[in-house]
Amino acid sequence: MQPFRLPLAVRERAHVASAQRLVLFLSAMICLFGFALLHVPAAALLSIALGVVCFGWTRPTVSTKSKVAFLLAAVSVICVVQTVQSAFVRRAQRARKIELQDARYRSERDAAKQAAADAAQFASMTPVQHYQAAAGLLKKGATLPEESLAFRHLDSAEPKMHVQGQSLRSAYTRIKKQQTLEAAVSAAKAAKQQADTDEVVRIALAKFAENRMLDKGLNVDVTTSGPRHTTMHIRYIFVSKVFAHQLSNDGELFETLRKAGFKKLVATDGFNENWSWTI
């Protein structure tokens, strides 16, 4: 008895279908690489050519010679388009580079012209004009560049305006000291206000923690003590090793206390059981 074999026509159709799937898979992979590596026009032509190959390569009505000729022509056209597009891209990059270089050159040239004009104007000023310019610059809130330019004017006003220059320097030194003192006072005032606010927050947080524990059925008193109320006290008659262990594992509680500025947490039963943590 001979083994069963599929008819020849069925086997041929199966081979054709397998070939079509293989061609389709390879075409898809090539198309993906094409869009990743080629310019858009060349990648578009490649996808069109691959589409024609996928649906026309296995057709018996088209001769092999025509198929090969189409492939060669498609590859040639894609190469030409890719080359032309690359040339356009390189030309645009060169033009952009030249444009940036020209802009930088113009900026440097204009800056040099302005510096030369400023230097010429500075050199043409009289001692009185130098002094007047320095007086206009050395005022409350002057920036470092303004200070530097003002001192250059005062140096150039020497020796004719020496007395006036020294007086102006002394006056500006007093202004700077006053500014520094005002800034220090303002910073200290702001720091005190922040410390007062943090202290109120810590007291309120202790009351909040007490209410939360009361809501859970724990008869506790939560208070604060120490400078700026940075120590929290939990007084609970049933404070024990178990209670302390549960508090120690409450990372959220310790993080909240740390952010609020607490330095220490104390738990006690009011008698012999006392536990403390440095935050």
DSSP secondary structure letters along the chain: -PPP---HHHHHHHHHHHHHHHHHHHHHHHHHHHHHHS-HHHHHHHHHHHHHHHHHTT-TTS-HHHHHHHHHHHHHHHHHHHHHHHHHHHHHHHHHHHHHHHHHHHHHHHHHHHHHHHHHHHHH--HHHHHHHHHHHSSTT--HHHHHHHHHHHHHHTTTTHHHHHHHHHHHHHHHHHHHHHHHHHHHHHHHHHHHHHHHHHHHHHHHHHHHHHHTT--EEEEEESGGG-EEEEEETT--HHHHHHHHT-HHHHHHHHHHT--EEEEE-SSS-EEEEE-
Q: Look at residue 109 in the predicted model and tell me its pLDDT.
A: 94
Task: Give the per-residue pLDDT at 51.
Answer: 74
With b for 16 or more beta-carbon neighbours within 10 A and e for fewer, the 25-61 pattern comes to eebeeebeebeeebbeebbebbbebbeebbeebeeee
What does the mean pLDDT of the chain come to?
86
What pLDDT is stored for residue 2 in this prediction? Answer: 45
Mean pLDDT of 5-21: 61
Listed by start position, the domains of the chain span 1-124, 127-187, 195-278
Q: What is the pLDDT of residue 112?
A: 94
Closest by CA to 225, choosing from 208, 206, 209, 211, is 206
Whether 163 shows a pLDDT value over 60: the answer reads yes
Average pLDDT over residues 104-130: 93
Express each pLDDT in 167-223 by its tens digit: 999 999 999 999 999 999 999 999 999 999 999 999 999 999 999 999 999 999 999
Is 5's pLDDT higher than 60? no
Confidence of residue 71 (pLDDT cuts 50, 70, 90): confident
23 pLDDT above the threshold of 90: no
Confidence tier at 3 by pLDDT (50, 70, 90):
low
Q: Where does the pLDDT of residue 4 fall: very low under 50, low under 70, confident under 90, or very high at 90 and above?
A: very low
> Does 142 have pLDDT greater than 70?
yes
| Rounded average pLDDT over 48-73 | 73
Contact 41, 23 (CB under 8 A): no
The answer on pLDDT for 8 being more than 60 is: no
Q: Is the pLDDT of residue 63 over 90?
A: no
